[in-house]
Amino acid sequence: MKKHSHIPFEELAFDAVGEQEETIESPASRGLFILLGSITVVVGFLIMGRVGFLSVTRGEQYSNRANANVYKEIISPARRGAIVDRYEMVLAESKSSFSVFLNVADILKQPGSFEKIIQTLAETLNVEVEEIRSAALAINLEKENTIAVVRNLTSDEVIKVKGLALEGVEVHDDFIREYKDAKAFAHVVGYTGVGEDNSIEGKTGLEAYYDNILRGTDGKFIYYRDALGEVYEKKSFFEPVIGERLETTIDFDLQKYSYERLEQGLRTLGRTSGVAMALKPTTGEVLAMVNAPSFDSNIFVDRSRSAERGEVLTSENTPLFNRAISGAYEPGSTIKPLVALAALKEALIAPETKVYAKGTIEVQNPFFPEKPSIFKDWTNHGLVDLHAALARSSNIYFYGLGGGLTTEQSGTVPVQGLGIKKIKEYWQLFGLGKETGIDLFSENVGLLPDPEFKENRTSEPWRIGDTFNVSIGQGDLLVTPLQLINFFASIANNGIGYRPTVTQQEEHEVLYDYSSWKYELGEVQQGLIDAVKKPYGTAYRLSDLPMSVAGKTGSAQISNNTKINAFFLGYAPVENPEIVLLILVENAREGSINTLPIAKDILGWYYENRIAHKKVIEEEK
């Protein structure tokens, strides 16, 4: 075989050109031109069709991609509306802050950069990677390009993030919620947090209930960029709209003092849990709603306080729990005014009818006749009528009003009892067993027991002893502090009960009106006045206050009679009630007596700072 030497491609190309110079040119045929023309026309139509198809089916997509190269949209968060007390004192407001935003649209143009960016941010800001990732993935790219992933940056953190110069990472103005005297107001005001769409929303309290009017409407700005990506113009697409201002019925100073006094009282007793509430009886307005233990709402908006958040969320004392509206308790003797009112209304007893409350009564036991059931009073009261029974808080007298007493049991005359069916009817008339309708979430309805309830729960019949127990606020009867104080407010307000509210209302909704029960209400009111005024009254310790007070103490045994929850309910001034007060001490050491020092100081504060102060101002005018 003949060998061929290697000849470079460039030389072969040069020789071919030289040979062609010696050839004689021949004209191209007419058919060739027609063929080439036809091909050109067909290709042109195909290109035009494809362009048309893409402009119709994907025009918006390509337009958005092109626009993303020209401008970017930035969400401008709206300032959340302030929450103020009845005197315009601020309870919660939004302060200017900075947040890290990710321009997800930009980052997606850089394959593989997302994880690197969030890892870098997490290390720089000392936050969890998953926290940033989940925030970023909450974005809706059909509506926005950027989303906040880390909020409330310090000045140093702002400098650090900007120094990273990461593509798609931006720092913009934002807002952070700030709560004043947060522990005192935590359960009524609530707190905010990040929602499923990564926006700030109310989580509890008023922040949650009125979230739709507090949050406002975010604005949007457009930044136009040149070919090098530099911003050369900023335009407002629409300005943010600030949220509405929420005006509450809360009395800032009363709330703060009540919280401090409740905390002090609990510490003295070596206890941790309790409630202090105050209502205006003529409107249903909540003047104060205090829970213990409490928490600082600011820990839920401050990233640096994650350890405190963890402690609150896992605490056995459940500081997040709003005992005032969600807690269900046996009311103890504070239910006796309602039982007395029912018995008078049903004409089962006259106020002057006396019962000899000797300390115990016996009830025949059908299963063991030789072992009668013993129902105790807390002391031997002697002869008591309606007023004295309320003032002294006689159990035996109210066993009679609820379940009835024989002549032997009463020591005087037979007493016809209401019976459980009628008792439950009156519970319901005064709003027990259902929501009051307060403008806060998570209201408990409590429990109103009856024979059917017991049958379903224990497969046992309802007995006279069950009626005795619920007649003095024990057994299976459960109410919330809110239900209890609202019922008591209606007694102070001569039978008219309002829907309790925490915010200012143009009109106050009446839940029930028993003002026609003037006689019955008057008799019960007198018993409550005597409880404070008479030396034998259980609330006599309040008798030296500078205003007249009517009240009722109560205690209920819990946990197999090893613990006692103690209540006080009262209103003042008696002649023209301005305030109804409830104090609850869980697991009190000595029963209802533990609530009286707290109640006395709060009522004294109210007189000095509201009633007496108002008189001074009026006199100066």
Structure tokens at 421: 């069916």
For residues 468 and 560, state if they share a domain.
Answer: yes
Q: Can you give the three-state secondary structure of 545-582, one letter per residue? A: CCCCCEEEEEEEEECCCCEEEEEEEEEECCCCCCEEEE
pLDDT top residue among 198 and 254: 254
Residues 412, 383: contact at Cβ < 8 Å? yes
Supply φ then ψ for residue 294, to 5 degrees.
-125, -170
Domain boundary (222, 247, 272) is at 247
Q: Which residue in the block uniquely carries the two structure tokens 């004409």?
A: 347
Q: What is the dihedral of CA 516, 519, 522, 527, to 10 degrees?
A: -130
554-585 in b/e form (b: 16+ CB < 10 A) is bbbebeeeeebbbbbbbbbbbeebbbbbbbbb
Specify if 410 maps to a domain: yes
Query: What CATH number should be reported for the domain holding residue 421?
Result: 3.40.710.10
Give me the pLDDT at residue 325, please: 99
SS3 577: coil
590-610 in b/e form (b: 16+ CB < 10 A) is ebbbbbbbbbbbbbeebbeeb
Q: In what order do the strands lie in the sheet with 274-280?
A: 285-292, 274-280, 579-585, 563-572, 550-558
Give me the pLDDT at residue 451, please: 98
Give me the pLDDT at residue 245, please: 98
Total domain count, the chain: 2
For 468-483, the pLDDT digits (tens) are 999 999 999 999 999 9
Count Cβ atoms below 10 Å from residue 327 Cβ, excluding itself.
22
Residues 394, 382: contact at Cβ < 8 Å? no
DSSP string across 597-614: HHHHHHHHHHIIIIIHHH
Residues 138, 198: contact at Cβ < 8 Å? yes
Give me the pLDDT at residue 617, please: 82
Specify if 253 maps to a domain: no
Q: What is the pTM of this model?
A: 0.85
For residues 243 and 329, state if they share a domain.
Answer: no
For 592-601, the pLDDT digits (tens) are 889 999 999 9
For 487-533, the pLDDT digits (tens) are 999 999 999 999 999 999 999 999 999 999 999 999 999 999 999 99
Report the C-alpha gap between 231 and 588 in whole angstroms. Answer: 67
For 246-297, the pLDDT digits (tens) are 999 999 999 999 999 999 999 999 999 999 999 999 999 999 999 999 999 9
Specify if 519 maps to a domain: yes
State yes or no: pLDDT of 197 exceeds 90: no
Residue among 83, 82, 104 nearest 149 (CA):
104
Mean pLDDT lowest among 6-20, 72-86, 314-328, 602-616: 6-20
In sequence order, the 6+-apart residues with CB closer than 8 A to the CB of 232 are: 224, 225, 226
State yes or no: pLDDT of 534 exceeds 90: yes
Specify if 5 maps to a domain: no
For residues 240 and 381, state if they share a domain.
Answer: no
Supply φ then ψ for residue 568, to 5 degrees.
-135, 135
Confidence class of residue 204 from pLDDT cuts 50, 70 and 90?
A: very high
Query: What CATH number should be reported for the domain holding residue 102?
Result: 3.90.1310.10
Count Cβ atoms below 10 Å from residue 471 Cβ, excluding itself.
28
Instruction: State the average pLDDT over residues 301-323.
Output: 94
Confidence class of residue 209 from pLDDT cuts 50, 70 and 90?
A: very high
State yes or no: pLDDT of 465 exceeds 80: yes
Give me the pLDDT at residue 49, please: 57
For residues 242 and 330, state if they share a domain.
Answer: no
State yes or no: pLDDT of 299 exceeds 90: yes
DSSP state of 170: E
Percent of the chain with pLDDT over 70: 86
Domain residue limits at 506:
325-620
Structure tokens at 424: 């439950």
pLDDT top residue among 571 and 365: 571
Report the largest interatomic distance among the alpha carbons of the chain, rounded to a whole angstrom: 149
Structure tokens at 286: 């909540």
For residues 239 and 332, state if they share a domain.
Answer: no
Residues 106, 187: contact at Cβ < 8 Å? no
Percent of the chain with pLDDT over 90: 73
DSSP strands (E only) in 358-500: 360-363, 373-376, 382-384, 496-498
Domain boundary (247, 279, 310) is at 247
State yes or no: pLDDT of 618 exceeds 90: no
Confidence class of residue 228 from pLDDT cuts 50, 70 and 90?
A: low
**Paired residues of 171 in beta bridges:** 100
Specify if 503 maps to a domain: yes
Report the C-alpha gap between 316 and 350 in whole angstroms. Answer: 49
Specify if 18 maps to a domain: no
Residues 571, 539: contact at Cβ < 8 Å? no
State yes or no: pLDDT of 484 exceeds 60: yes
For 401-440, the pLDDT digits (tens) are 999 999 999 999 999 999 999 999 999 999 999 999 999 9
Helix ranges, 477-547 (H):
481-492, 518-533
DSSP string across 73-137: EEEEPPPPPPEE-TTS-EEEEEEEEEEEEEEHHHHTTSTTHHHHHHHHHHHHHT--HHHHHHHHT
In sequence order, the 6+-apart residues with CB closer than 8 A to the CB of 75 are: 101, 144, 146, 147, 218, 219, 220
Give me the pLDDT at residue 395, please: 98
Q: What is the dihedral of CA 471, 475, 478, 481, to 10 degrees?
A: 70
Beta strands 382-384 and 355-357, pairing class = antiparallel
For residues 78 and 189, state if they share a domain.
Answer: yes
Confidence class of residue 13 from pLDDT cuts 50, 70 and 90?
A: very low
Specify if 273 maps to a domain: no
For residues 482 and 370, state if they share a domain.
Answer: yes
Residue among 87, 103, 158, 93 nearest 125 (CA):
158
For 31-69, the pLDDT digits (tens) are 655 665 666 655 556 556 555 554 555 555 444 444 445
Give me the pLDDT at residue 381, please: 96
For 339-381, the pLDDT digits (tens) are 999 999 999 999 999 999 999 999 988 778 888 999 999 999 9
State yes or no: pLDDT of 326 exceeds 90: yes
State yes or no: pLDDT of 207 exceeds 80: yes
Specify if 121 maps to a domain: yes
Count Cβ atoms below 10 Å from residue 110 Cβ, excluding itself.
13
Mean pLDDT lowest among 225-229, 334-338, 347-351, 381-385: 225-229
For residues 224 and 335, state if they share a domain.
Answer: no
Residues 122, 129: contact at Cβ < 8 Å? yes
Domain boundary (219, 247, 275) is at 247
Instruction: State the average pLDDT over residues 288-311.
Output: 94
Give me the pLDDT at residue 486, please: 99
Distance from the Cα of residue 510 to its chain's centroid: 24
Report the C-alpha gap between 592 and 160 in whole angstroms. Answer: 58
